[in-house]
Amino acid sequence: MALWRFLCRDSRGYPEYIAKTLQPGYCGPIVFAAAGASAQYDSRTMILLTRRADFAASHYYWVDAWTPEENERAFGKCSNRHGHGHNYTLEVTVAGEVDATSGFVIDLKTLKDIIEREVLQAYDHRHLNLEVPEFENVLPTTENVAIAIWNRIAPALKGAKLHRVRVYEMADLFADYYGEA
């Protein structure tokens, strides 16, 4: 017996990893081999592929309808109108079937180019409140940054489906966005 990790779909149809102890043998579209050998798959195998990128940006939190005291109380040091910066880490996860010829869910250079064009060129070394249009009237919280990145990347993808956008503001603070429910 061996512990295998494989991809299934949850009740909403979203891919999810399941870890099970199985005898080597057939299990759905994946053919498991003996320990130490590679698994075989057919073209219907669903895979999640994640690409990571880093960018630096500054922001502040401020609600114009509130008094300075209310902003200070709600946002603390983050309400300083000069802003503060973060070194963000972005993870873009796509889901799709493995192409039988290329072995890819999506061409990795294509995914890297999409992230570069749609996110890094727009966000890296920018003041999000002042230089990025989608934050003109929306606070650039980690949650809203993840949603905005989804909205930039999803239309540019061809062949693979955007599964998740994860934005780390700090090592211990991140937001995940899976699109509209």
Q: Catalytic residues, which ones?
A: 78, 125, 169
Q: How many CB atoms lie within 10 A of CB 129?
A: 19
Nearest residue to 17 (alpha-carbon basis) of 50, 43, 52, 46: 46
d(CA 53, CA 164): 14
d(CA 174, CA 143): 8
Report strand pairing: 126-127 vs 46-59: parallel
d(CA 174, CA 161): 22
d(CA 102, CA 78): 47
d(CA 60, CA 57): 11
d(CA 137, CA 130): 10
